[in-house]
């Protein structure tokens, strides 16, 4: 199955359709990864915090696809902003590889390394234990060091707004991953990223659990008009048409396959007018961000309530 590729700022190419592994259970994700690679996927999106990278590695090996043919992304967790290599080494060991194609800072939030929990440390009042003295520039220096050591080919960020990006952009070549979908298109942020030659990724292109996107009337109407098999094809093809990498998640073999084939079919079928219509869905009253962890600090995103820690 031929895939669609996008070229990053450093000249590296990345398959524009990848398999997301967030919320995939350990006893399911190995089979999902194996099936996806056998079905033609060549991009797997992982993260230390997902807690399933060892099983992802099992799926990679079981597929029989050579490591050099697979683009693997993982992410640095908040309790490791000052220990980038330590977190990366755990990921490499669990995946069973010596390098990553892309390594991202998962969130622009440094959590207390010496807190009361290794993943989600909390303060006595129950709020997240954030290291507010930490400078994100230091995180980025640690990420750059991994490129110099040859442990990662490219580095980037995830869940960064323009405000957060501007804290590290003077020295960074960034490939961000943000929540992008029909109801949260982030049109202004996408324009900003393109102005900086930054390639965006959509880690929740179909929405999250119990997402309303698959029942959207406009997307469903366009799917029927263009002879596409499902609304999900439109949701994925819409983002591909805007040169946005999509990372749909599934552990169901048939859905894994249809996400790949359907996205490519929609990419070819959607018209400029279709994209214009879809761009206006959120502004027409359906703007909705589906994932908003209570970080307790201002991340700089529109449509995200300001929280205090």
Which residues are annotated as catalytic? 50
Distances 80 to 124, 142, 234 between C-alpha atoms, Å:
21, 10, 37
Q: Note whether 61 and 89 are within 8 A (CB).
A: no
232: which 2 tokens? Answer: 């999900």
Task: Give the chain's radius of gyration (CA, Å).
Answer: 19
Distances 270 to 7, 40, 85, 162, 214 between C-alpha atoms, Å:
22, 22, 43, 29, 17
Residue 95 zone, left/alpha/beta (φ > 0; ψ -120 to 50; rest): alpha
- Choose among 194, 155, 199, 197: nearest CA to 178: 199
Q: Note whether 18 and 70 are within 8 A (CB).
A: no
Q: How far is CA 205 from the centre of its chain?
A: 9
The β-bridge partners of 5 are 15
The CA distance from 264 to 242, in Å, is 13
Mode of pairing for the β-strands spanning 13-15 and 5-7 = antiparallel
Q: Note whether 129 and 111 are within 8 A (CB).
A: yes
Distances 195 to 44, 59, 189, 200, 201 between C-alpha atoms, Å:
27, 37, 10, 12, 16
145: which 2 tokens? Answer: 């060091």
Which H/E stretch holds residue 73? strand 71-76
């Amino acid at each position: 199955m031929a895939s669609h590729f996008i070229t990053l700022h450093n000249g590296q190419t990345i398959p524009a359709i990848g398999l997301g592994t967030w919320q995939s259970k350990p006893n399911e994700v190995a089979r999902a990864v194996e099936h996806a690679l056998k079905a033609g996927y060549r991009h797997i999106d992982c993260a230390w915090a997902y807690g399933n990278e060892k099983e992802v590695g099992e799926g990679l090996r079981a597929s029989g696809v050579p490591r050099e043919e697979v683009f693997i992304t993982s992410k640095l967790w908040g309790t490791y902003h000052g220990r980038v290599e330590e977190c990366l080494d755990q990921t490499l060991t669990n995946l069973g590889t010596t390098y990553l194609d892309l390594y991202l800072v998962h969130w622009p939030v440094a959590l207390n390394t010496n807190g009361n929990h290794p993943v989600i440390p909390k303060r006595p009042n129950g709020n997240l234990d954030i290291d507010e003295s930490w400078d994100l520039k230091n995180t980025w220096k640690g990420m750059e060091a991994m490129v110099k050591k040859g442990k990662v080919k490219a580095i980037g960020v995830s869940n960064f707004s323009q405000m957060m990006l501007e804290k590290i952009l003077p020295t960074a070549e960034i490939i961000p991953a943000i929540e992008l979908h029909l109801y949260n298109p982030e049109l202004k942020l996408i324009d900003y990223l393109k102005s900086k030659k930054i390639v965006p990724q959509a880690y929740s292109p179909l929405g999250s659990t119990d997402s309303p996107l698959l029942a959207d009337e406009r997307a469903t109407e366009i799917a029927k008009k263009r002879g596409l098999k499902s609304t999900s094809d439109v949701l994925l093809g819409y983002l591909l048409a805007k040169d946005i990498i999509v990372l749909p998640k599934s552990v169901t073999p048939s859905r894994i396959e249809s996400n790949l084939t359907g996205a490519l079919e929609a990419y070819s079928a959607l018209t400029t007018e279709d994209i214009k219509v879809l761009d206006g869905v959120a502004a027409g009253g359906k703007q909705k961000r589906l994932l908003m962890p209570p970080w307790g600090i201002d991340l700089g995103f529109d449509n995200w309530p300001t929280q205090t820690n």
